[in-house]
């Protein structure tokens, strides 16, 4: 707790030095380890903060165990409101206009910060997939008992899991080509060897070691190398972001269907 108090004090001092006001009422403290139940955090003596079990940052809900169920439930609530409203006026819209509305109000919510959803349990991703299925049926005006795979294939929509992997791989490509923030570059390490191995020409990344079974494999330092190393070389060697996105979407689409 003393380290956290010192960190908060530094932030407060830096804010005052740069003539910035630190809003105490919007400052939250959340413990993110489930293994120290015997050492509960006490209110900070610097800014009088009380630890919370759930916080919201830039529209993303995060809980102390990083399960992301609160964030997914919030997405489902807001997206279902949009689906119902668009459904009320669907008979007055053509297919192209309906698709644009659903991309603006539904797909944008599914894609916003979806890199947090990498390697989540299937039960949580299924909630988001059901949202996408409802949006697809609304576009094609099909019934709930109709199989969803041909509908998604016809619309050429990537399923939710593949959309998450697409975001992770796109961040990885940008990082390797100097187009990503430095904090992403710091967690991705290209594989190197003093010997002339076959994998040296495959542009592989080193996967970080994880210590926690529950959410360690969801870290970018582990998930990104695992997804990147499984890509074919012709995709990893794309000459531009536009070409990479096109090849990657086609690859994930064929893999999903």
pLDDT in tens, 85-141: 999 999 999 999 999 999 999 999 999 999 999 989 899 999 999 999 999 999 999
Stretch 182-201: mean pLDDT, rounded?
74
DSSP 90: G
Helix 160-176 / helix 122-140 crossing angle, nearest 10 deg: 110
With 0.75 as the threshold, say if the pTM is over it: yes
* Residue from 110, 117, 111 nearest 218 by CA: 117
| Rounded distance between C-alpha atoms, residue 47 and residue 61, angstroms | 22
DSSP 107: I
* Residue from 182, 169, 170, 156 nearest 223 by CA: 169
6-65 pLDDT tens trace: 787 888 889 889 998 877 777 777 876 655 554 555 555 556 667 778 888 888 998 877
Q: Burial, 16: exposed, middle or buried (Cβ in 10 Å; 0-12, 13-18, 19+)?
A: exposed
């Amino acid at each position: 707790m003393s380290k956290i108090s010192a960190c908060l004090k530094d932030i407060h001092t830096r804010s005052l030095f740069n003539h910035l006001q630190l809003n105490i009422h919007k400052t939250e403290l959340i413990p993110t380890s489930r293994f120290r139940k015997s050492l509960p955090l006490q209110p900070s003596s610097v800014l009088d903060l009380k630890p919370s079990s759930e916080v919201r940052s830039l529209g993303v809900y995060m809980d102390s165990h990083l399960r992301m169920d609160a964030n997914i439930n919030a997405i489902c609530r807001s997206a279902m409101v949009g689906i119902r409203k668009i459904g009320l006026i669907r008979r007055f819209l053509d297919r192209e206009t309906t698709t644009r509305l659903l991309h603006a109000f539904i797909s944008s919510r599914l894609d916003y910060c979806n890199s947090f959803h990498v390697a989540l349990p299937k039960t949580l991703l299924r909630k988001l997939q059901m949202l996408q299925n409802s949006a697809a049926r609304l576009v094609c005006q099909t019934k709930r008992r109709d199989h969803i795979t041909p509908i998604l294939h016809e619309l050429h929509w990537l399923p939710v899991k593949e959309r998450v992997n697409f975001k992770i791989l796109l961040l990885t490509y940008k990082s390797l080509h100097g187009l990503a923030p430095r904090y992403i570059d710091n967690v991705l390490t290209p594989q190197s060897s003093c010997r002339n191995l076959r994998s040296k020409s495959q542009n592989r990344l080193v996967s970080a070691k994880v210590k926690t079974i529950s959410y360690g494999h969801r870290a970018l330092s582990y998930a990104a190398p695992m997804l990147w190393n499984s890509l074919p070389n012709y995709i990893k060697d794309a000459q531009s972001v536009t070409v990479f996105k096109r090849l990657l979407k086609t690859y994930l689409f064929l893999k999903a269907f």
